[in-house]
Amino acid sequence: MFVSVSNLTNNMGVDEKIARFFVDRKVPQDNIFWNKRLLYIARGNGYISIPVYYDFLLRIGLLRECLLDESHIQFMEKVMHYAMLVEYNQMSFGDQLLSIQHLLTNRIRNQEFYLELIHYLEQPVLRPIGKLGMPIPSLNRADVFLFILCDLPMSQSQIEQAISYWYALHTSYLIMDDMYDYQLDKQVKDENAIIELGDGEKGFERAFEILKRNIKTIEPVNPTLAAHFEVTMEGLYDTNTKS
In this prediction, residues 195-210 reach a mean pLDDT of 93
Report how far apart, in Å, the C-alpha atoms of 133 and of each of 52, 118, 127, 206, 233 are: 20, 12, 6, 17, 23
Residue 216, pLDDT above cutoff 70: yes
How confident is the model at residue 243, as a pLDDT? 45
Single out the residue of 130, 73, 121 nearest to residue 97, CA to CA: 121
Q: What is the pLDDT of residues 38-90, one digit of tens each?
A: 999 998 999 999 999 999 999 999 999 999 999 999 999 999 999 999 999 99
pLDDT at position 189, please?
86
What pLDDT is recorded for position 2? 78
Q: Which of 124, 121, 128, 114 is nearest to 167 (CA)?
A: 128
Read off the pTM: 0.95
Domain extent for 130: 5-240
Distance CA 117, CA 143 (A): 9
* Residue 136 confidence (pLDDT): 93
Query: Rounded mean pLDDT of 85-97?
Result: 97
Q: What percent of the chain has pLDDT over 70?
A: 98
Q: How many domains does the chain have?
A: 1
Mean pLDDT of the chain: 95
Phi and psi dihedrals of 132, rounded to 5?
A: -105, 140
**Mean pLDDT across 112-131:** 97
